[in-house]
Amino acid sequence: MKATIAAGAGAAMPQLTKAGDAEKTNTMYIAAYDTESARCLEACRKIVEVHKRLEMPATFFIVGKTLDANPKEYKELLTNPLFEIASHTWSHKMLRDNVFCGPAVSADEKREEIFRGKEMVERTFERPCLGVRPGCSFDDGLRGAVDVLKLIGEAGLKYVSSLAWGPDYSMPALLREPFNYAADGFADLWELPCHGWHENLLKNNNGWGPRRLTLWPPVMPEAIPSKFVKTPEDEFAVNRIFIDRALDRNKPFVSLIWHPWSLYKFDPEMKMLELTFAHVHKIGLKPCTYADLYKQVSGQGDTISHA
């Protein structure tokens, strides 16, 4: 049961295999965090505790200005083989129009967002920064945004994670697969999407109140709660829908859209993380980082080790 990843060359879809009596999959699971405000540092301390205890890899996409405010603290906290550090731009400004978050900034500001964000990560952690997740992200990734793709390529970034909404800026983001930007002239630059809800919206942690966010008819009605989630168990129940669907449909990976400040505000003990990670282990998904996923889809390596 093999197929190539959409728009990729030579990357194989995961295969189900037998491990004892349990059926396992090569579908990958990526815990990822959009680390974007001063409130994230305290939250990340608790998040890291859970990851270390459960030996769960993660990617932290960090806003440059947020990192610049506490570089020593973040370096001490996140320097660990379990963790990839990637960019969440320099200051979270829009690289293209977003219907909820506003219009794109100027060409000079786009350059600053991309280059300074990457440089801040590399200067702090003294290792390459492979990827960037734009602020808020978009419903079609960076397709057609040739100016932005060119800047990302010039900066030496290898992947973007910019597809974080469903069609027409709806929620949830669907289980989209990796693809490259060959159609825009950047065959070596990969899009590695993310999935599910922006969890801060799922809880009304942004204070937006009811918003027009879902499609009609919905693509995944089972993943649209009738009200804001109220408990870690409620949130895990939504997470599980995407995780189980990725497994059932033999998707290459699944990664939910998490924000440390919002996770901590809602669930300071990080019970939801423990429930989610326990389920990931139980059903046999392969935990990894976005850097690991990039290496696999780009054909640069398929061995995942976080020892």
Looking at the predicted structure, is the pLDDT value of residue 11 above 50?
Answer: no
The structural domain count of the chain equals 1
Rounded distance between C-alpha atoms, residue 93 and residue 86, angstroms = 16
- Cα dist from 182 to 11, 101, 132, 139, 141, whole Å: 15, 27, 18, 18, 14
In a domain, 76, yes or no: yes
pLDDT band at 23, cuts 50/70/90? low
pLDDT at 22: 39
In a domain, 56, yes or no: yes
Q: What is the mean pLDDT of the chain?
A: 91
Supply the range of the domain harboring residue 209. Answer: 16-297
Looking at the predicted structure, is the pLDDT value of residue 206 above 70?
Answer: yes
Looking at the predicted structure, is the pLDDT value of residue 15 above 50?
Answer: no
In a domain, 307, yes or no: no
In a domain, 7, yes or no: no
What percentage of residues in the chain have a pLDDT greater than 70? 90
In a domain, 204, yes or no: yes
pTM above 0.85, yes or no: yes
pLDDT at 300: 85
pLDDT per residue over 37-68, tens digit each? 999 999 999 999 999 999 999 999 999 999 99
pLDDT band at 211, cuts 50/70/90? confident
Looking at the predicted structure, is the pLDDT value of residue 77 above 50?
Answer: yes
Looking at the predicted structure, is the pLDDT value of residue 175 above 70?
Answer: yes
pLDDT band at 2, cuts 50/70/90? very low
In a domain, 9, yes or no: no
Rounded distance between C-alpha atoms, residue 96 and residue 77, angstroms = 32
pLDDT at 260: 98
What beta strand segments (E) does the chain contain? 16-19, 22-25, 28-30, 32-35, 58-62, 83-87, 131-132, 159-160, 179-181, 186-191, 195-198, 253-254, 256-257, 286-288
Q: Is the dihedral of CA 178, 199, 37, 147 positive or negative?
A: positive
In a domain, 31, yes or no: yes
Rounded distance between C-alpha atoms, residue 280 and residue 64, angstroms = 31
CATH number of domain containing 108:
3.20.20.370
Looking at the predicted structure, is the pLDDT value of residue 121 above 50?
Answer: yes
pLDDT at 17: 36
Region 28-35 average pLDDT: 98
pLDDT at 161: 98
In a domain, 166, yes or no: yes
Region 23-30 average pLDDT: 84
Cβ proximity of 27 and 18 under 8 Å: no
